[in-house]
Every structure is written in structure tokens, then in C-alpha cells.
Structure 1
Amino acid sequence: MRKTELPAPVFIVAPMGRSGTNYLKSMLETHPDLYFVDVLEDYLNVGANHLSDYADGVFKMWEAMDGGSYTGLGTVSRDDMLAVIGDALLSLIGGDKDPTRRPLSKSPVAGDWPVGLRLFPDANYLLIIRDPRSIAESFLNVRSAWSLSFTLEHLASSWVQRMRLITQTLADHQDAVRDGRIMTIRYEKLVADPAPVLNGVLERIGLPPFPDGSAPDTNFPVIGSSFGIRTEEGRVDFTPQPKPDDFDPRRRWADWTPDQHKRFNRICGSMMKKWGYEPI
């Protein structure tokens, strides 16, 4: 049984990097009832299937010993065990520092999301979705050591593979979607008109809207753009930067050639349409 009542965490997840998790996180952490945890990206769902296997293994042994009548502090289940582990993980990343506010965390991947829902049964998951063509163009423009091997085909394949898993998870957990435990946020809508998007999210997760006049607007600083200012080493700069007048990250692919569109569409055109992004 869980012995602590930690504030319910708010996790931002995405199908892959360059989806806008930093942008959404930076906006939400300005809300007075949220604070960001101690790690930049938590990755707590990555490999979570191993924790599920662990719980299964322990309970199989218990059930074999006493015929399934283990009670401890009242009847416990595999999900109870996972929730206790989730509390420990949340504490580890600083999610228990302020009992008056809810911890906010983010990861650029959803990972083993179905297990994450069991590890953190009180959490709200905010899934941010961005046009995969803009994601790909952003990755190709990062020009860092870990992106040098990326190709358009590789990025398209990664996105569609992860979106298949996310689509299946949403279909399998419609109760969590209805209850607001899982919310989908369109990056393009967030960029175009942040305040109503953010306040809609806050309402769904049980928090008050931003105080009058304090909600982030379209002039919110640029955070970690691959087309923004670089550090002296040439890396993406994740410190807030003033938004240039011509800054528009919603159509990074506007200058793609017909051949680029054809190559991209061949791999993930149908999944793009499924998620409301019309292939060119």
C-alpha cells in the first residue's frame, strides 16, 4: 500500500525529440501551481516494461507460496507495487519537494507508456504532437554529433513507428483519455494561440487558469529552436531567446522539394493523414 500522498505529477511526453516539449514545459512552469523537477528530461517510462515484469515475477512467487492470499497491509496488487515504485522514482527526481504545488516533468519520448500509467496512477500525461515534417527538418538542422547520421527516411520511419504505438495506447486507454489523464496538445495550435490552449489543459488537469494577464502569449521566448541562436560551440541554445519577427516553426518544411515530400510520404503519409497533417 502507498504510504505517502505526493502531489499528482504532470508529465509532458512526445513521439520523439524536436516536438516542442521544451516549449510547452517552459510555458507551463510559469504557472504558480506547477514547478519543474530536478532533471531536464526524466525518461521514466523508458524500460518500464522491465518493472512490470519484476512485479509479475514477485507476485507469481507470492501466489505460489500462499495460494494468492497475500494481504500485507490490506490486499495489494501488482499495480499497488508499481505505484509505490512510481512514488520512489518521482521522489528521486525531485517531485516531492513542494506539497503545495504539482511537479512538472518532461521526456521527448513516450517510452513504455502503458506501464507508466500504472507507475503513476494519479498523473496527467500531456502528449504534444507536431507535424512530422517540421520535426524532421528541425532534426536535420540541429547539426550536432548525435544527428549527423539522420536521414529523411530514418526520421520518417522513427516517427511513424512511435506514432503507431502511441495511437494503440490511446485506443487501449480511452478511459484515461476521457478522464483527462491523457491529453493531446497540437504544437501548431500552441504556437498560434498559447493562452486558450494552456488554460484548457489546466482546466482538464484540475488546476486554475493562469491569473489574468499572466498567460504566455505569442511573444513567449524561443526555447531550443534548431533555427535559433547557437552557443559558441555551435549547439542549440536552450536558454530563452527573444522571438524574432519572422519566427514561425509551424512549417519548417515549406521549402522542401517534391522529391523530399515523395520520400517522406511513402513512409508515413497515411499516419500523417490519420493525425490531421495532409501530405503534399
Structure 2
Amino acid sequence: MSAPPLIYIAGVSPRSGTNYLSRLVSKHPSCVAIADGEDHFLSKSDLLRLFAERVYGHWSVDWSLKKKNTSKDVLGAIGEGLLKFLRSQAITENGQTAEENTSTVVTKTPHPKNVGLFDRLFHDSFLILLIRDGRAVTESRMRTFEESFDEAVQAWRRGAREVIRFVEEHGWTSDWHRVLKYETVFKDPEEELRQIYDDVGMNFSSYPSSYLEEIAVVGSSTYGEDGEGVTWEEKQDDGSFNPLNRFQDWEKEKHERFEWLAGEEFRNLGYTTSQPITSASVARHYLLDVKQFPKNAKRAVHAKLRSLVFSHVTE
């Protein structure tokens, strides 16, 4: 089995650990990583699919273009161009670009939108879909983005629903993808890396094992300073870093509210709930829903209008 040209890491939501996993995976000597940032190619790929379908639809049935290809071929060709671009942005250990390098490119995006298009956009590549406990993500989003509790939970829930739809269609693993839990990666990174490299045809024995002990904390809301919700400077763990218990100080009401808003999605992703909703609190949650309704309705209307406008201008 030959290694794929691309390993693409997508997260259930921003603050789900894609930066951490990308740094781990890309340390293999057969991999190169994008210098910085997140490409967002996959989350916007519905626009590329629409482009491919519209172009293909305008081709005459008498043309060889139409006879020899499908809209999926057009989308795949776009993906090849994107991969070439990603390779031009990747940096090798000696600081050079990897345009002429045959190493596997590792890139990431914190959103799961359009993950179902991955195998059509990036042929022969590998997708890692990273999920994380919604309570930890919620707490981290509140610290980082200054979101309200409900906003943060609902953002995680939207991503979780995307992942659930993907899993229902494609399963938890296949020859081109794997769904991972951040918690298992953090607890035993070596075992999870062995599995990933086995999936993509790489040998873990080449991995610099000392890196697992030396890896610094980057992009964590735990070490934000001077009012900042997150820091992107490397920080050595001082013993206080435990991203698995971010919600340990939540009061009962927060646990119940999370269960009310996202309990079903939480369990469907394989997590267990520790705080069932009591009958006495149901009325309170309905009242909170009513309070949040104007904000949620505004978001829904905005999304619908954007969809209608985009549909009109692309006709």
C-alpha cells in the first residue's frame, strides 16, 4: 500500500484539537505540513461541486468532454489543483517548500461541513475526522470566542450533526477515512498514531518517539494571557494542562442545559451523559429556549436568504 498524497484532518468544531493532531501526524518523516493556518477547502467545497455540476451540465452530449467524463471527474480535477497548491505551501524540515517532494501533505480545517465530498474532491487521499466531548469544546469556545453557553453548545451540535450524517453514510472507518476521538488521542497518542499510519501505509518505527514527550501546548485556551482567550505561542505543560476536564467546575444547571440542547448528538457520537434532566427543570429550559429564539431565528433567516440569493445568481 502506497502512502496517500494528502492526509486531511477535519474537526467537529473549532476548539476540537485539530491543531494538536495535525502537529502529531505531520511529524512523521514521510509527511510535510502546511506552514500555518487552516485551508477551509473542504468546508467550502459545496461551491466547487456546484461549479463542476453547472459546467458539466452546459456541455453538449455530442462533445467528447461529456462522453468521457462526469461532473465528478471535473470536481476531482479541481481537487488535484488544490492539492498542488497545498503542496506549494507545505514546509519541509529544512525549511524548503515541498512542491517537488513526494511526501504526504498534512492539512487541517476545524469544520466538518461537506466531509461527505472528501473522496470525490481528493482522490486516493485520507480523511481524519476528529470529534471531541462537546462539554470541553463548549467551555473552550466560551473562553476563546466569548460566546454564550447556548451559542457554544449549538455550534458544537451543528458540527456533531454533520459528523453523524457522515457516519451514517460511510461508517466510522473505511479505506479512505477514520473518525477519531480527541480524548483517546490525548490519552494514548502513540497507539492512535500507530493506527493512523497503518491505515495510510506508513511505518510508525520511523516516527521520532521523543516528540510525544516533548510536544509543547499550542493554541490552548488554558494558557491564554492578558485577557486573551487563546495563545498560539508554544507553552510547556506546567502540570496544570488537562484538556479533558475543562467542564469539571460546571454546576448542575450547565450539565442539564447541555443535555437539553445536545444530549442526543452527544450520545450518538459515543459519549455518555452524567446529568439527566429532571422533570422539575423542563420548564426552565423551555423558557431559556424562548429567550434564545430571536437570536436563533435571525441566524436561520440569514442562512436561508444566503441560500436563496446564491441559488439565484448561479442559475
Range class of TM-score, shorter chain? 0.7 to 0.9
Q: Deviations over 1:201-257 (max 9, x none)?
A: 111111111436626435531121101153x67352223221122321111101100
Q: For residues 208 and 157 of structure 1, what CA distance do their matches in structure 2 show? A: 39
Q: In the aligned structure 1, how far is the partner of 2:87 from the partner of 2:217?
A: 26
Which residue does the alignment assign to 1:257?
251
Distance 1:51 1:220, change over 3 A: same
Q: Paired residue for 2:104?
A: 102
- Counterpart of 2:74 in structure 1 is 81
- Flag the 1:113–1:213 CA change in 2: closer, same or farther, 3 A: closer
- 1:1-280 aligned at under 5 Å gives the runs 8-62=5-59, 65-67=60-62, 70-72=63-65, 75-94=68-87, 97-142=99-144, 147-148=145-146, 150-174=147-171, 177-179=173-175, 181-211=176-206, 214=209, 216-217=211-212, 220-230=215-225, 234=228, 236-280=230-274
Q: Could you state the TM-score of these two structures normalised by the residue count of structure 1? A: 0.86
Does the 8 Å contact 2:86/2:105 carry over to 1?
no
**Residues 78-112 of structure 1, C-alpha deviation per residue, up to 9 Å, x if partnerless?**
11111111111122233562432100000001222
CA deviation digits over 1:167-217, x for unaligned, max 9?
A: 11222234x9321x1111111111111111111111111111143662643
Moved more, 123-132 or 96-105: 96-105
User: Would the alpha carbon gap of residues 46 and 248 (structure 1) be closer, same or farther in structure 2, given more than 3 Å must change?
Assistant: same
Q: Give the whole-Å Cα distance in 1 for the aligned partners of 2:198 and 2:66.
A: 35
Structure 2 unaligned blocks of 5 or more: 89-97, 275-315
Structure 1 stretches of at least 4 aligned residues deviating more than 4 Å after TM superposition: none
Gaps of 5+ in 1: 1-5
Amino acid at match of 2:86: I
Larger radius of gyration: 2
**Alpha-carbon distance between aligned partners in 2 of 1:205 and 1:48, rounded to the nearest angstrom:** 23
Q: What is the DSSP-based 3-state SS (H/G/I as helix, E as strand, rest coil) of the residue aligned with 1:177?
A: coil
The 1-side partners of 2:206 and 2:16 are apart by 27
Deviation at 1:152, TM superposition (A): 1.3
> Would you say how many aligned residue pairs link Structure 1 and Structure 2?
263
What's the CA shift for 1:29?
A: 1.8
Partner Cα distance (1:246, 1:39) in 2: 26
CA contact (8 A) 1:195 1:215 kept: no
In the alignment, is the contact (CA less than 8 A) between 2:131 and 2:181 conserved in 1? yes
Q: Which has the higher helix share?
A: 2
Which TM-score applies when normalising by structure 2? 0.77
| C-alpha contact (below 8 Å) 1:195/1:216 kept by paired residues | no
Query: Tell me, what secondary structure is at the counterpart of 1:11?
Result: strand
Equivalent position SS for 1:265: helix
Read off the aligned partner of 1:127 and give its amino acid letter. L
C-alpha RMSD of the superposition: 2.3
**Shift, 1:37, TM fit:** 2.0
